[in-house]
Structure 1
Amino acid sequence: MDIRHAVGVKAGVPVEKLAALDAFETSEAFAERERAALSFATEIVRDDRDVSDACYARVREHFSEAEILELTFIVGYQTFASKFAKAFQLAPQGFAS
């Protein structure tokens, strides 16, 4: 999360919002559109099941098919990068410091 945190801050995401990510479903820091995207991302990264119909319907309320494709690609790429770093035991580099 180190580099992604630093990129988020550089892009103007408030630090308080990043800190509230674990509680995104109930935090007032996130709009419904953001909650839908974060819920979709959470369901994508679970290895034990597919994205639920309810979650997909929710994300469709806020995003076009092209935007959903982009979200899916970004989540998939970040998941790959995380697994790659774990495989080679790459430690955080202090970008968020």
Structure 2
Amino acid sequence: MDEELLDALYHIDQNRHLFTERELAALRYAEIVTTSARDVDEELWDELQSHFDDGEIVELTTVIGMFNFFNRFADALKLDEA
């Protein structure tokens, strides 16, 4: 992945032009699932369905969930404090 694009993730609102609408929908979904999964509303769901089929949404959710798990696991065990 391009370094500029990785840096842009820290300030998505200022760098929207670097992402496709599909990518922005996935990023919004990832943020909401990570911070408060119960807040996935019909508007976001409709947006996701306009860019992804059901299988892709399941895959996206799985990847988001797995990375959340890995981060929490590492944090709890203080794995990054070597």
- Sort the TM-score into its range (normalised by shorter chain): 0.7 to 0.9
Figure out how many residues of one structure are paired with residues of the other and give that number: 81
Which structure dedicates a bigger proportion of its chain to helix? 2
Write out aligned runs for 1:8-23 (5 A). 13-23=1-11
Shift of 1:59: 1.0
| Residue in structure 2 matched with residue 67 of structure 1 by the alignment | 56
Structure 1: where are the runs of 5+ without partners? 1-12
Higher relative contact order (CA 8 A, sep 6+): 1
Shift of 1:74: 0.2
Shift of 1:70: 0.1
- The whole-number CA distance in structure 2 between the counterparts of 1:26 and 1:47 is 23
Q: Which of 42, 53, 57 lines up with 2:42 in the alignment? A: 53
Shift of 1:25: 4.1
TM-score when normalising by structure 2? 0.88
Q: Which of 12, 31, 43 lines up with 1:42 in the alignment? A: 31
Structure 2: where are the runs of 5+ without partners? none
TM-score when normalising by structure 1? 0.75
- The whole-number CA distance in structure 1 between the counterparts of 2:2 and 2:37 is 32
Give percent identity, aligned residues only: 35
